[in-house]
Structure 1
Amino acid sequence: IVHIHVRHPDGRPSMELAHYREVVERLRAADEDVIINLTTGPGGRFIPGDDDPSVAAPGTTLLPPERRVAHIAALRPELCSLDFNTMYSGSSVVINTPRNLAVMAEVIAEAGVRPELEVFDTGDIQLANHFISDGKLDAPALFQIVLGVRYGAIATPETLMYMKTLLPAGSHWGAFGIGRWEFPMLAQTWLLGGHVRVGLEDNIYLEKGVLAESNAVLVSKAVRILKELGGSVATPAQAREILRLKKQDPKPA
């Protein structure tokens, strides 16, 4: 599975459909079978003004929910993230209201895409569980537990074990740690029966003081750790079967 964010040429995060389309078309044209997982995270940040906190300061990226999933409807990947967090992050507040999440979930479902529910704390799981019980999300859902983001769930075995207990029975789930917690949480997640994730979005170091040259070297280290623990890595076909994904052709948009 490849999880995709896109950027403007100057490095700023982008939500432009043309940028997503270029990346997705290149991936689909490549002679490699991968499961494409597009982010819907950008577009949810608010920075309160110093003089009037009700007025957005520069750097605010809040967008209508329909805009945050327009690329999902147009490009129809097999997976996309759906962030359930509302929290302080860096200099901004990430806002994902139940109403906006419901709008996004409906667009994602209509596109035939499976949402990966990213949860950053226990309250996020409670909200996702309400969506499932209300029929706004299908079960079994796919959860991704995020550990180590400042002011979110801390990256400890105890935290991960507790958050796992809050997931609905039969859920598909994975977890990952941010920064130096990436590989310790990878091992802990496997031990608890979850799927794993690594990459430069979460951590830029291969080991202490050694920058990772690419996502590939992080993946290679992860594979080595998993195999030494007795695990194995799914092929794209096996991952589709495990997660109940249906490879689909994009509709014209």
Structure 2
Amino acid sequence: MKRPRFLLLQARNPGDPAEAHEQEAFRDVLGVEGDALRPWSLLAGPPPRKVLDEVACVLVGGSGEYGIGDAPDHLWLGEFISFMGELADEGFPMFASCFGFQALVAARGGRVETDKSRAEVGTFELHVTEEGREDPLFGPLHPRFFAQLGHKDHVVEFPADMVHLAGSARSPYQALRIPGKPVYATQFHPELSMRRNRERFLGYLEAYSQPDMPDTVDDVLAAFRETKAASALLRRYAHEVLPAYL
């Protein structure tokens, strides 16, 4: 059996159909099959070193039922945030999206808050920052690009030792890099195509259609569009950034 190259950390409850959906999405955008991507449930705690030694890169996806603010109620969540900080300090290759982005920010001293009035669900336009313009992955996306999102938690205090790469009108902190290390994270979902994000939205329709959300279901569905540049980020990371650290 071939060793898995990527380790996907997931925070999904048993039976959540988004678990398999997320695995398929990451495999598709990375162009890998089978055990080239190994899933790991964070509900069992962070992966041990022997598992990390078998992979080249850690990936983190969304979280379904959980948010960073739930850490006091879930031991595994606090352990995960600490683990993200340790990985970043080590410089272990990593690309984290959404929940992973928030956990990495929290681990490095930033702050995340829930604000449904600024929730972003569906396809949104993002802008590349001046720092992002100089970044090898985000520079080609300058000045603006569209991405798939699904979140109500927002970074409100950004760590000083991170590079701010992209933002949006509702949520100014959308992407980061740790200088000198192969560590990237995004609030948006580069693993999701328009089709997959639409499927995800319909799967969580009850949660997304609450009256305190800023967009109606019809508005979200009407705004979906293809996001090929954002969806290419993970494969570009694997081909353009990761090899130098293997």
Task: Output the TM-score relative to the length of structure 1.
Answer: 0.36
Greater helix content: 2
